């Protein structure tokens, strides 16, 4: 099997990380990026490069265990691989590669023996506390091999209770070695775009208390599991989703999910409910029927957010508010799988719960910083929006590309303009570019970059074009030159400045927010003006 270019870069980035660092890395791979293939190819190459290496792949649900196992076998049919999962009735602990569930393995590290590398699928589920199943597994494996390395795979490198996985007290990981951007996957056709329609009714979360960082379920149940509210929401779902084939509806409780399904059936929609209490055989039957198109709508609570792939899903309805950015992203991912056979063009998001306004566009999220206790601990980090480098939260300038971070802004309520579920599909608001300038930016210890400044509606918007970098920053620099010049991209900043007469000044731009930052989403040209 031939890996896509970014999948190969992700594999290569893991080796590059271990060449220069002693810490544990994260690979960020959104739903639909081919995370299982990245995992499988890395395992094959690692075992072939280092024949004595023992690798453990661990996750939390049976569906993911099977998925990862099959991905490795599909790519590497002769793999020396075993399964260790009570749910799958397999206990093959002595193979070179073992794929298993954390519930089965946490107390059986002596049976596993010496392990060199652990790969955690859905790494955002690892709590900070050491007395959890993951903590016991890692501690037991380190007792046997103190040099144990851990790689995390996830679409969401943060937790509601502790922020970023690679910063703060007790962080298991030390940085992100590769981050696959959602906009690139959408533009290349690997992910379906998301669009949103604002429903007439939005659930009021004012006054709801929080527990463990999220809204209290009992209070949500009392406020939202009401016939009047359910009927109003279901009426809008049926009206706005009339041309949609496969619906997922996220609810606040089991009773709420069952009531919503009943209301859908009352309007002639085939609907069923799947929850954590649904018996495994019944759950499998319902999911299979949904995937075949025999059930149009599934209502759920606390399931169908990870390890569930139904590409035909083309409508999501949020009847459950959440303060968890990770849960929000996981829910949106259910509609981002492509499905050419069904004619799916995009996924429609109907957000009755205010989650889009709360968290922002899925392709421009403000990732929460790691939380540290008072009196010390590892400083939290942040990611440069220009070149994806990781740095301390207090840094005012990126050491790699020179991006200058703005001063912290006071927290304000989001306005309606932030409620696009994806910047890539948001309605464009074109603004005039009245001036543009390019200059060299130099920072000791890092390659030079080209600083570009645009004057848009009296505000300066900057971007850094990294011709002399490698990997993702270099690729973005090539794309920038192709848009602004359309000629062969330069190799250096010096060459770019020498050819500045080839750079056209855009006449208008769409400026979007990405967390705290502003950037140009797209530009258009009205003349052959060049940069000053």
Q: What is the pLDDT of residue 410?
A: 32
Q: Cα-flanking dihedrals φ and ψ of residue 224, to 5°?
A: -105, -20
First to last CA, the chain: 48
- CB of 296 closer than 8 Å to CB of 271: yes
For residue 475, pLDDT over 50 is answered with yes
**Per-residue pLDDT tens digits for 483-525:** 999 899 999 999 999 999 999 999 999 887 665 567 888 889 8
**Per-residue pLDDT tens digits for 263-288:** 999 999 999 999 989 998 999 899 99
Burial classification of residue 331, based on how many CB atoms lie within 10 Å of its CB (0-12 exposed, 13-18 middle, 19 or more buried): buried
Q: Would you place residue 22 in the very low, low, confident or very high pLDDT band (cuts 50, 70, 90)?
A: confident
For residue 357, pLDDT over 70 is answered with yes
Where along the chain do its domains lie? 5-180, 194-359, 425-524
**Per-residue pLDDT tens digits for 10-20:** 999 999 999 98
Q: Where are any strands of DSSP class E within 245-289?
A: 247-250, 271-275
CA distance 487 to 490: 9
Q: Where are any strands of DSSP class E within 470-516?
A: 508-514
Give the highest mean pLDDT range of 199-213, 359-373, 468-482: 468-482
For residue 418, pLDDT over 60 is answered with no
Q: Would you place residue 471 in the very low, low, confident or very high pLDDT band (cuts 50, 70, 90)?
A: confident
Q: What is the pLDDT of residue 529?
A: 46
Q: Which fold has domain 5-180?
A: Rossmann fold (3.40.50)
Q: Which fold has domain 194-359?
A: Rossmann fold (3.40.50)
Domains 5-180 and 194-359 in one fold: yes
Which one is predicted more confidently, 458 or 38? 38
Query: What mean pLDDT is predicted for residues 1-27?
Result: 91
Q: What is the pLDDT of residue 527?
A: 58
Q: How far is the CA of 244 from the CAs of 99, 335, 351, in angstroms?
A: 37, 12, 16
Q: What is the pLDDT of residue 7?
A: 95
For residue 81, pLDDT over 90 is answered with yes
Q: What is the pLDDT of residue 291?
A: 94
* Mean pLDDT taken over the chain: 85
Q: What is the pLDDT of residue 95?
A: 94
pTM higher than the cut 0.95: no
For residue 226, pLDDT over 50 is answered with yes
Burial classification of residue 283, based on how many CB atoms lie within 10 Å of its CB (0-12 exposed, 13-18 middle, 19 or more buried): middle
DSSP letter for 125, please: G
Q: Would you place residue 400 in the very low, low, confident or very high pLDDT band (cuts 50, 70, 90)?
A: low
Q: What is the pLDDT of residue 375?
A: 39
Q: Which uninterrupted H or E stretch holds 152?
A: strand 149-154
Q: What is the pLDDT of residue 204?
A: 86
Which residues, at least 6 apart from 200, have a Cβ–Cβ distance to it below 8 Å?
236
Q: What is the pLDDT of residue 530?
A: 45
């Amino acid at each position: 099997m031939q890996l896509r270019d970014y999948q190969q870069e992700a594999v290569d980035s893991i080796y590059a990380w271990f060449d220069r660092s002693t810490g544990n890395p994260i690979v960020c791979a959104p739903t639909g990026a081919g995370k299982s293939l990245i995992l499988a190819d890395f395992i094959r190459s690692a075992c072939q490069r280092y024949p004595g290496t023992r690798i453990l792949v661990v996750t939390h649900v049976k569906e993911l265990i099977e998925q990862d196992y099959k991905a490795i076998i599909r790519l590497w049919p002769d793999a020396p691989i075993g399964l260790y999962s009570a749910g799958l009735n397999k206990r093959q602990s002595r193979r070179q590669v073992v794929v298993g569930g954390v519930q089965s393995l946490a107390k059986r590290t002596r049976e596993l023996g010496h392990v060199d590398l652990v790969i955690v699928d859905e790494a955002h589920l690892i709590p900070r506390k050491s007395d959890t199943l993951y903590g016991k597994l890692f501690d037991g494996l380190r007792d046997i091999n103190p040099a144990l390395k851990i790689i995390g795979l996830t679409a969401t490198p943060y937790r509601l209770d502790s922020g970023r996985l690679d910063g703060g007290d007790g962080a298991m990981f030390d940085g992100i070695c590769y981050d696959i951007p959602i906009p690139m996957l959408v533009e290349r056709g690997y992910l379906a775009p998301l669009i949103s329609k604002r429903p007439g009714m939005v659930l009021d979360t004012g006054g709801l208390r929080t527990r463990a960082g999220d809204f209290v379920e009992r209070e949500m149940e009392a406020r939202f599991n009401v016939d009047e509210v359910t009927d109003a929401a279901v009426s809008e779902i049926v009206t706005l989703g009339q041309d949609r084939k496969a619906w997922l509806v996220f609810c606040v409780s089991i009773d709420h999910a069952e009531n919503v399904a009943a209301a859908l059936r009352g309007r002639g929609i085939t609907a069923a409910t799947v929850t954590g209490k649904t018996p495994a055989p019944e759950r499998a039957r319902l999911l299979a029927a949904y995937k075949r198109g025999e059930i149009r709508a599934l209502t759920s609570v606390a399931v169908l957010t990870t390890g569930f792939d139904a590409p035909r899903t083309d409508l999501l309805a949020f009847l459950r508010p959440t303060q968890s950015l990770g849960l929000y992203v996981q829910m949106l991912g259910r509609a981002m799988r492509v499905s050419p056979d069904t004619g799916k063009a995009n996924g429609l998001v109907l957000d009755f719960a205010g989650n889009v306004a709360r968290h922002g566009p899925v392709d421009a999220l403000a990732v929460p910083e790691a939380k540290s206790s008072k009196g010390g601990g590892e400083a939290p980090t942040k990611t440069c929006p220009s070149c994806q480098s990781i740095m301390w939260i207090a840094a005012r300038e990126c050491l790699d590309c020179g991006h200058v971070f703005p001063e912290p802004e006071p927290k304000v309520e989001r306005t309606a303009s932030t409620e696009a579920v994806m910047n890539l599909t948001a309605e464009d608001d074109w603004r005039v570019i009245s001036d543009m300038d390019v200059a060299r930016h130099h920072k000791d210890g890092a390659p030079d970059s080209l600083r570009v400044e645009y004057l848009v509606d009296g505000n300066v918007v900057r971007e850094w074009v990294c011709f002399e970098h490698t990997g993702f920053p270099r690729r973005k620099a090539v794309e920038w030159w192709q848009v602004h010049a359309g000629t062969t991209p330069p190799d250096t900043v010096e060459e770019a400045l020498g050819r500045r007469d080839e750079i056209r000044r855009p006449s208008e731009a769409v400026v979007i927010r990405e967390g705290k930052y502003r950037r140009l989403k797209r530009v258009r040209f009205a003349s052959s003006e060049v940069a000053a």
